[in-house]
Amino acid sequence: QVQLVESGGGLVQAGGSLRLSCAASGLTFTKYAMGWFRQAPGKEREFVASISLSGVTTDYADSVKGRFTISRDNAKNTVYLQMNSLKPEDTAVYYCAADFVPVRLSTSANTYEYWGQGTQVTVSS
pLDDT at 103: 86
DSSP assigned state of 76: T
First to last CA, the chain: 40
Q: Per-residue pLDDT tens for 92-112?
A: 999 999 999 888 999 999 999
Cβ neighbours of 43 (radius 10 Å): 9
Whether the pLDDT of residue 58 is over 90: the answer is: yes
Answer for the pair 8, 18: CB distance below 8 angstroms, yes or no.
Answer: yes
The alpha carbon torsion through 88, 40, 109, 34 (nearest 10 deg) reads: 50
Per-residue pLDDT band for 61 (boundaries 50, 70, 90) equals very high
CA distance 123 to 84: 11
Answer for the pair 114, 5: CB distance below 8 angstroms, yes or no.
Answer: no
